[in-house]
Structure 1
Amino acid sequence: MIIERKLIICTASLIVMLMIEIKKRREKIIKKKRLWTKKWIEKRGAGKGILNMLNEELLVEDPLAYRNYLRMNNTTFEKLLGLLSNKIKKQDTQFRESISARCRLETTLRFLATGETFRSLMYSTRIHESSISRFVPEVCEAIYSSLKDIYLKTPNSPREWLKIAKEFEEIWQFPNCIGALDGKHITFRPPISAGSYYYNYKGNHSIVLLAMCDAAYKFTYYNVGINGRISDGGVFRESNLRKALDDGSLNLPPNQALPGRTSEIPFVLIADDAFPLTDRIMKPYPNRGLTDSQKIFNYRLCRARRMIENSFGILANRFRILLNPINLSPDKVEQISLACLALHNLLVSENSQPYLEMEDSHVPFSNKLNNQAGNRTTTRAHNIRNEFKNYFNSANGAVNWQDTAVRRSNM
């Protein structure tokens, strides 16, 4: 009798538990159906999303505003869509129509251009924020994978490097220069599990973007993803750029004398105090007890090195998601950063004029690396820097405004 009663109680308990589980599952299904069938979201298919309607109007009535809205003109957008379409489009299901590749790309570009939250974009696109949060990283990954081998390639032949060096000499009067090098912190709001792993010296959580550019604002090398707590010297030391400079795999041109000089010196990168002085990296003389000729060198180097600062500034003003902490996980922040780099180089290649004038040009991207570099410098590196200094102070290398510029800047 007691056993039978226990069996009845156990059976009843199981039935109650099953009923509770069935109810929970039904509630989830109902919740999903409610999500899918929100009337105002359904109207996206009728072309009533603000983003969709505005893009169509701007394209016809104000192409310049269209370009500013998506950060590219329609020709470039259609070209990009053609490259990505097969990677980002999804199949329709019996429950709902899929979000088109065009809409996915437009939404992602607007997210990168403004840094809007997914919830904010939901109202302008009529796409639920959960869907946006899923497809934006996917589209960013597709952008990078589709463009990197076309627009983000590092030069790999002496001819390509010589072309860059010629542009630096013609535009910035700095010969034997194959690029300007710098690093920036891309900040984000970390997950609780991250702890202090990404915590940098400024009190933010970040990953580091180390990049090199040519004289046309185009990035020719990039390294994204090293955690922000690593010092600047550590970032460069661990980069494949440092390894490539050491082992010669960049295929740089042979040493060449500066114009009017006889000593052959290497082709070099120019950088600031955050980087070590080496045979291949030139940086300013330490700012203490400088001679007039050293001040001239520092001025000429800093003037040419502005290319990388300007390139970072254009990048961040074009894609404002990079200006503020990104509320996503580190791996997604890396995907976003890579997509922005690839798009930047695409736009530089597609436009003969820099895009900076089309946007606010005075918002700084000042998440600089910590200005501490290693002290291991060879005598040869000092001699190379002195050769540049002597050239910039000679009749062949001086420019007529450098003395005035140095006096005005109190260098």
Structure 2
Amino acid sequence: MSVANYNLLLSLLQQRLQRFSFRKPIQPETRLAVTLIFLAQGCNFYVLAWSFKLGVSTVRKIIYETCDAIWDELHGVYLSTPNSHELRDIASKFYVKTGMPNCLGAIDGKHIRITSPRNSGSLYYNYKKTFSIVLMAVSDANYVFTYVDVGALGSQNDGGIFARSAFGKKLLNGTLEVPSDTNLPGTTSSFPYYYVGDSAFPLKQNLMRPYPGRHLPEDKDKFNLALSRARVHIENAFGILANRWRVLHTTIHACPKNADKIVLATVVLHNFLMLQNDRNYCTL
């Protein structure tokens, strides 16, 4: 993160992080620094407590409060729902980059490892044989997240999680705001705008999935390849997110509610830095 973007982030959160006390309160700069180091490195709470000469419980409280502040103050600007004009712009960028017309975004889920919650049984136990919550997200052609849903149980599959999410419900019942149908490039064939997903997602009016099976005819195989070029954007977005905020590469030692706060903070910080074109964060 560049110094300019750190200062901008601090200015956006300054009022929310300010504390007043009879004793000397911990300054907003320190609160933000502790949280960013935790998110970027996945440090143990004890390591941060020793480094900043703070109590372990104080560090834990600072991180959860700052993650809350980051989400509350930034998501309205940096993770707002795209309007029709912005969706058309996303579709044109996908077409230029991948050759897939009318594509509004790529959707997929990512498992975030957590410690097993108390008395949860196998609810959070996933197919990778770890305990996790699921981040369901949509990415545009520039690896910026446009929709996110966090907190689903790790034992559920992507299709089921998608169907239960607010975004998925709107998309499946046809109430999600999408641009009206338009002609495919170079033709007079009208076609709807759509999101792309893998074979775990259903085929719907505004949701595209690949042809199933192997040894497909050449035209279907060619279509699957083009769809894969578009769908890989969500995989790349998850890759950038997890490699910059390395707490997502670790097992998060927190209850699911607090793990949700951590994940949401990393997502909105990712969008903040991508939209600020911070080349220290994501190089060309």
Same fold flag (TM > 0.5): yes
Report the Cα distance in structure 2 between the residues aligned to 1:130 and 1:348, rounded to whole angstroms: 32
> Under a length normalisation based on structure 1, what TM-score does the superposition of the two structures give?
0.66
Alignment of 1:96-175 (within 5 A): 96-155=23-82, 157-175=83-101
Between structures 1 and 2, the one with greater strand share: 2
Report the CA distance between 1:353 and its aligned residue. Answer: 5.0
Compared CA separation, residues 149 and 91, structure 1 to 2 (3 A) = same
Give the length in aligned residue pairs. 284
Partner SS state of residue 155, structure 2? coil
The amino acid of 2:21's aligned partner reads: D
Report the Cα distance in structure 1 between the residues aligned to 2:281 and 2:20, rounded to whole angstroms: 36
Partner SS state of residue 356, structure 1? coil
**1:246-289 Cα deviation digits (max 9, x unpaired):** 44443211111211222211101111112112221112111323
Match of 2:120 in 1: 194
**1:208-231 Cα deviation digits (max 9, x unpaired):** 110001111110011111111122
| Larger CA deviation: 117-126 vs 173-182 | 117-126
Partner SS state of residue 190, structure 1? coil
Q: Root-mean-square deviation (CA), in Å?
A: 1.6
Residue from 312, 317, 321 that aligns with 2:247: 321
> Under a length normalisation based on structure 2, what TM-score does the superposition of the two structures give?
0.95
Compared CA separation, residues 285 and 133, structure 1 to 2 (3 A) = same
The amino acid of 2:250's aligned partner reads: N
The amino acid of 2:95's aligned partner reads: E
The amino acid of 1:296's aligned partner reads: K
Compared CA separation, residues 318 and 184, structure 1 to 2 (3 A) = same
Q: Confirm or deny: 8 A CA contact 2:19 2:25 kept in the other structure.
A: yes
Q: Confirm or deny: 8 A CA contact 1:88 1:139 kept in the other structure.
A: yes
Match of 1:281 in 2: 207
Residue from 301, 308, 311 that aligns with 2:237: 311
Match of 1:85 in 2: 14
Larger Rg: 1
Report the Cα distance in structure 2 between the residues aligned to 1:106 and 1:201, rounded to whole angstroms: 36
Match of 2:264 in 1: 338
Match of 1:270 in 2: 196
**1:36-79 Cα deviation digits (max 9, x unpaired):** xxxxxxxxxxxxxxxxxxxxxxxxxxxxxxxxxxxx11111111
Report the Cα distance in structure 1 between the residues aligned to 2:52 and 2:232, rounded to whole angstroms: 38
Q: Confirm or deny: 8 A CA contact 1:140 1:339 kept in the other structure.
A: yes
**1:167-223 Cα deviation digits (max 9, x unpaired):** 111122211100011111111012333332212222211111100011111100111
Partner SS state of residue 107, structure 2? strand
Q: Confirm or deny: 8 A CA contact 2:163 2:172 kept in the other structure.
A: no
Report the Cα distance in structure 2 between the residues aligned to 1:348 and 1:203, rounded to whole angstroms: 33
Alignment of 1:55-70 (within 5 A): none
Match of 2:3 in 1: 74
Q: Confirm or deny: 8 A CA contact 1:89 1:100 kept in the other structure.
A: yes
Report the Cα distance in structure 2 between the residues aligned to 1:166 and 1:334, rounded to whole angstroms: 33
Identity across aligned pairs (percent)?
Answer: 42
The amino acid of 2:233's aligned partner reads: M
Greater length-normalized contact order (CA 8 Å, ≥ 6 residues apart): 2
Q: Confirm or deny: 8 A CA contact 1:190 1:330 kept in the other structure.
A: no
Q: Confirm or deny: 8 A CA contact 1:213 1:220 kept in the other structure.
A: yes
The amino acid of 1:187's aligned partner reads: R
Q: Structure 2 unaligned runs (5+)? A: none
| Larger CA deviation: 233-242 vs 305-314 | 233-242
The amino acid of 2:12's aligned partner reads: L
Compared CA separation, residues 314 and 260, structure 1 to 2 (3 A) = same
